[in-house]
Structures are given as C-alpha cells and as structure tokens.
C-alpha cells in the first residue's frame, strides 16, 4: 500500500458579502495606486462575482427558445490559486473568515 501525502491547500473559494468588501478584505492585493492586482508569479485571483443558480423553472424568450430561470446566490465570489507560499499566510487568514467549500464549483482552475 502506498501512503499518499497531501500537500498544503493551493485553491481557495472565497465568498464576501458584496463587491464593496473587496478592497478591505483583499487589501494585500492592491498596489500603491489602489488598483487591484489579480495575478502575479505568486498567486492568481479569479473574480467570479455574483453567481446564479437555476430555480427549476423553464422560461421561453420572445423567439420561442426555452431557458432556465435563475436567481442570484448571495455574496460576491472569487477563487484564489496560490502559485507559491509567498502570500500563503494572508490567503489562509482570508480563507478562515470567508472561505467556502462548494459541492459543485461554478468555475475551476485548469
């Protein structure tokens, strides 16, 4: 039997209250000019924003095409991938407060 060792977590799913919370919660990812820096050689941040989920109701548009009705999921969502350990402490702290574990993530890292 081979004993598999699990390494540290590198992918994080974060759910903030709203978009306005980003500059405060993610302050370590803004540069001196106040611009959000979504990726470097240390990390990548995918701002997903508002997610929508189907209600189970099918609607029909003006052209007669059916489509699923959806509703917004509460919160402002983003994914973070660590590429090395430079920002690990900061990201793990954010994950402790705002991390979620989706059963079926809407967006994944490839």
Q: Which residues contact 58 (CB under 8 A, 6 or more apart)?
A: 66, 67, 68, 69
The tokens 């690990």 sit on which residue?
88
**Of the candidates 34, 68, 42, 66, which has an alpha carbon nearest to the alpha carbon of residue 54?**
68
- CA gap 41, 64 in Å, rounded: 48
Residue % of the chain over a pLDDT of 90: 85
Label residue 104 by pLDDT band (50, 70, 90). Answer: confident
Label residue 5 by pLDDT band (50, 70, 90). Answer: confident
Structure tokens at 90: 């900061």
Residue 98 has pLDDT above 90, yes or no: yes
- CA gap 31, 106 in Å, rounded: 28
């Amino acid at each position: 039997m081979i004993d598999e060792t699990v390494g540290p977590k590198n992918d994080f799913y974060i759910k903030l209250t709203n978009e306005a919370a980003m500059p405060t919660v993610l302050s370590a990812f803004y540069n001196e000019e106040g611009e959000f820096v979504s990726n470097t050689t240390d990390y990548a941040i995918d701002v997903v924003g508002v997610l929508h989920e189907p209600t189970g109701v099918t609607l029909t548009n003006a052209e007669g095409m059916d489509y699923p009705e959806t509703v917004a999921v509460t919160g402002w969502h983003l994914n973070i991938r660590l590429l090395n350990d430079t920002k690990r402490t900061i990201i793990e702290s954010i994950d402790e407060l705002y991390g979620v574990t989706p059963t079926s993530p809407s967006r994944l890292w490839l």
